[in-house]
Amino acid sequence: MKQRIGVYICHCGGNISDYVDVEQLSKLIANEDNVVISKDVMFACSDSNQKEMIQDIQEKQLDAIVVASCSPKLHTHTFRNVALRAGINPYNYVQVNVREQCSWAHSDTPLDATVKAYGLVRAGINRVAYSEALENIEIEAQKAVAVVGAGVAGMRAAIELARLGNSVYLIEKEEQVGGRVAQNGKLFMTGEDGKSLTQRLLNEVKSLSHINLFTKATLEKVSGSIGNFLLDVNVDGNLLKLNVGAVLVTTGFDFYQPAENEYGFGQTQRVITLQEFNQLIENNTNELIIEGRPVKNIAYIYCVGNRQSKGPNKYCSRFCCTAAIHSSVRVHEKFNGIKAFHFYRDIRTYGKQELLYRQSSLNGDVYLKFEEKEPPVIEVDNGYPVVKVKDYLTSKKEIILKADLVVLVTGMVARSDSGQVSEKLKIPIGNDKFFNEIHPKLRPVETVINGVYIGGACQGPKNISESVQSALAGVAKINALLKKGKIALEPIVARVNAEACLWCGKCAEVCEYDAIKPLEMNGKMVAEVNVATCKGCGICAPVCPSDAIEIAEYSNQGIESMIAGFAAEAEIKQSETQHKDEIEHPQVGMKEYPEEWKKILSCFTGEPLTIPQISDKSGLAKELITYHLMTMNRYSIVEPAGLNDEESYYMYKPKNH
């Protein structure tokens, strides 16, 4: 049991201290058993405060620390490193969330927020008192990777993995590689032909000895775990067994297939999908011909199969607008005398793709806006489609267009076999049937299965560039994982008391990660936990009738002590300064400033500056500067200095200038 504990309660620049009385809380906590030092600090995560913690740990000979601040998701590794640098075990540290769980949740009742924070900090102290000096679990890892799907993203990923010294097994279901890109003609931005791009990548794949390419191959079975996956692959009827350290899934997507008579589809050969239209462009040379007659009027209908409020595909496919406009521009480049009419809900040509929209407009293309509740109606007159629509740009005036050709701009949907891949690799899929990552911003290519990564359009609609970028992000993650030949895993996993275990199997039934299997030990069956697969979620512990399984760092004794700590009462007074509309903050000493504040202040040399000017000088993002300036203004470190000459930006200056 830890007997010399240090507690640090963070102001978080007012995010916490505006509602939680951190000074009073710190004084109360100082009286707790085993607490040697209790401090309130402006920014616990700042370099200066980290150094102060390290100094306290070493001088006061602390054996554990508690940091009451923001969510552990943000700074767990920050403070584990503080503990490590100070010479104590990183798992003898507990982070208590008093921002999201207290100050933000109870901003209207600061006294209640302070009372709750007191209980949470006490629970954290009791938890860390029973913490163990855990060590990372180290396992051997195969320096081999299976890349499932040999489209452009998959081939590019395989090439980079091989160049980094990994053995790569590139598994493609079809007879030919390249996926959808191989079926494309001239590509936007580069102007390269889709087939040429595919062939160039294939030549690189074949030139690298570390890559083994298997076509007409499917995953049959997957077992094992991170660092040591065992794959059964059916290669044209022959079973191949592979042993790899990680798996990267780049299986791509399918195009939405319109239903019979959806916008006239199937009623006439003059209503086709965008993919069929692109093939038509490639197959014709001097004149665009369909059914033996030249095409003069083309109607493009957008959002077919996507953005359906009542349908299965509620999402925007993102690439379709650009793809349709690119095809329209290609038509004007290749054929003369063709008029294009675009029936759209919203035009979403983001980034440099806006250049295509501009070129299309210069070509004379006509854009007509409709709403989902009043989509275009297609009728067939003597084999020719007639489009009727209410144009929302002309006060819902009804437009009637007799077209030679109607192009249905269809979006991306998840592959029909994504469910089979999901079942074998245990990758969760969303409501849209695409594979789910752990977090779209913070962990965009990782899945809940350690060692299994996703990239490209199998996780959602992407263009070629975005698909390759996400696949290469997976490459970076995999190479960092496997390059040492060993993998260090979190030690907070389930563990079994073999003497108490009776192997009823209930823990294995509820485990979502297939981490628990029966094992014969000393003549009886007991539960065995695969530490490489276990996520430490704890769902197994409460279902065990013999109380034979628990999670490291969450022993029964530790949890009971946390409950007791949270339930404790103390006399807490309402602070007179909290939750006022105007809160006066004293200037904070320079040693308390986070690094971002120092960078911002160093930009000022006399004249007030705008946020873009500060961004240019400091290299910090404008959004980040805006956030910090608001907090620095609150603490009287900087102040607004009016508008600039163009009256387009506010200027700021240091308070003492």
Alpha helix segments (H runs only) across 367-410: none
Same domain, yes or no, for 11 and 116? yes
Q: Which residue has the tokens 């409501």?
A: 431
In DSSP notation, 463-491 reads -HHHHHHHHHHHHHHHHHHHTTSEEEE-S
Q: Which residue has the tokens 């390419």?
A: 213
pLDDT at 587: 46
Residue in 42, 43, 37 with CA at minimum distance from that of residue 66: 37
Quick check: 178 pLDDT over 60?
yes
Quick check: 235 pLDDT over 70?
yes
Task: Evaluate whether residue 563 is within a structural domain.
Answer: no
Range 12-26 average pLDDT:
92
Q: 3-state secondary structure string, 178-237?
A: ECCHHHCCECCCCCCEHHHHHHHHHHHHHHCCCEEEECCEEEEEEEEECCEEEEEEEECC
CA–CA distance, 217 with 148 (Å, rounded to integer): 9
**Domains: count for the chain:** 5
Cα–Cα distance list, 46 to 52, 62, 611 (Å): 10, 20, 22
Same domain, yes or no, for 407 and 442? no
Q: How confident is the model at residue 189 (pLDDT cuts 50, 70, 90)?
A: confident
Same domain, yes or no, for 273 and 249? no
pLDDT at 620: 85
pLDDT at 578: 52
Of 361, 381, 412, the one marking the end of a domain is 412
Same domain, yes or no, for 351 and 404? yes
pLDDT at 205: 97
Q: How confident is the model at residue 419 (pLDDT cuts 50, 70, 90)?
A: very high
Tokens of 394: 């002309």
Task: Evaluate whether residue 355 is within a structural domain.
Answer: yes
Task: Evaluate whether residue 47 is within a structural domain.
Answer: yes
Q: Of 387 and 312, which is predicted with more confidence?
A: 387
CA–CA distance, 330 with 60 (Å, rounded to integer): 73
Q: How confident is the model at residue 327 (pLDDT cuts 50, 70, 90)?
A: very high
pLDDT at 624: 78
Range 393-404 average pLDDT:
93
Task: Evaluate whether residue 575 is within a structural domain.
Answer: no
Pairing of strands 217-225, 211-214: unpaired
Asked if 265 contacts 373 with a C-beta cutoff of 8 angstroms, the reply is no
222: which strand partners?
A: 231
Q: How large a percentage of the chain has pLDDT more than 90? A: 76
Residue in 226, 276, 244, 61 with CA at minimum distance from that of residue 143: 244
CA–CA distance, 295 with 399 (Å, rounded to integer): 20
The number of beta carbons lying within 10 Å of the beta carbon of residue 162 is 22
Exposed/middle/buried for residue 471 (C-beta within 10 Å: 0-12, 13-18, 19+): buried
**b/e code 314-323 from CB counts within 10 Å (16+ = b):** ebbbbbbbbb
Same domain, yes or no, for 369 and 287? yes
Q: Write the single-letter amino acid at 53.
A: M
* Residue 644, domain CATH: 1.10.10.10
pLDDT at 589: 46
* Residue 317, domain CATH: 3.50.50.60
CA–CA distance, 113 with 104 (Å, rounded to integer): 9
Q: 3-state secondary structure string, 556-618?
A: HHHHHHHHHHHHCCCCCCCCCCCCCCCCCCCCCCHHHCCHHHHHHHHCCCCCCEEHHHHHHHH
Same domain, yes or no, for 101 and 155? no
pLDDT at 576: 55
Cα–Cα distance list, 179 to 86, 202, 365 (Å): 53, 12, 31
Q: Write the single-letter amino acid at 315.
A: Y
Of 388, 412, 436, the one marking the end of a domain is 412
CA–CA distance, 266 with 262 (Å, rounded to integer): 8
CA–CA distance, 339 with 331 (Å, rounded to integer): 10
* Residue 504, domain CATH: 3.30.70.20
Range 6-20 average pLDDT:
93
CA–CA distance, 587 with 636 (Å, rounded to integer): 6
Asked if 177 contacts 155 with a C-beta cutoff of 8 angstroms, the reply is yes
Same domain, yes or no, for 396 and 346? yes
Of 412, 433, 453, the one marking the end of a domain is 412
Same domain, yes or no, for 275 and 376? yes
Give pairs for 189-194: CB < 8 Å, separation 24+. Answer: 189/352, 189/465
Same domain, yes or no, for 239 and 296? no
Exposed/middle/buried for residue 601 (C-beta within 10 Å: 0-12, 13-18, 19+): middle
Tokens of 107: 């901003």
Tokens of 28: 């109360």
Residue in 496, 510, 488 with CA at minimum distance from that of residue 552: 496
Q: How confident is the model at residue 516 (pLDDT cuts 50, 70, 90)?
A: very high
CA–CA distance, 64 with 91 (Å, rounded to integer): 9
Range 519-540 average pLDDT:
93
Asked if 197 contacts 362 with a C-beta cutoff of 8 angstroms, the reply is no
Asked if 62 contacts 56 with a C-beta cutoff of 8 angstroms, the reply is yes
Same domain, yes or no, for 291 and 369? yes
Task: Evaluate whether residue 576 is within a structural domain.
Answer: no
Cα–Cα distance list, 98 to 115, 228, 443 (Å): 11, 40, 24
Cα–Cα distance list, 657 to 276, 609, 645 (Å): 67, 12, 20
Range 544-553 average pLDDT:
94
Domain containing 505 equals 492-552
CA–CA distance, 497 with 504 (Å, rounded to integer): 14
CA–CA distance, 602 with 618 (Å, rounded to integer): 8
Task: Evaluate whether residue 577 is within a structural domain.
Answer: no
Q: How confident is the model at residue 648 (pLDDT cuts 50, 70, 90)?
A: low
Same domain, yes or no, for 355 and 429? no
Same domain, yes or no, for 424 and 543? no
In DSSP notation, 399-438 reads EEEE-SEEEEEE-EE--TTHHHHHHHHT--B-TTSSBPPS
CA–CA distance, 49 with 467 (Å, rounded to integer): 41
CA–CA distance, 388 with 609 (Å, rounded to integer): 55
pLDDT tens-place string over residues 579-608: 444 444 444 444 467 778 888 999 998 889
pLDDT at 13: 87
Task: Evaluate whether residue 568 is within a structural domain.
Answer: no
pLDDT tens-place string over residues 260-277: 999 999 999 999 999 999
The verdict on pTM exceeding 0.85 is: no
Cα–Cα distance list, 6 to 54, 57, 87, 197, 567 (Å): 11, 8, 14, 60, 21
Task: Evaluate whether residue 560 is within a structural domain.
Answer: no
Asked if 487 contacts 533 with a C-beta cutoff of 8 angstroms, the reply is no
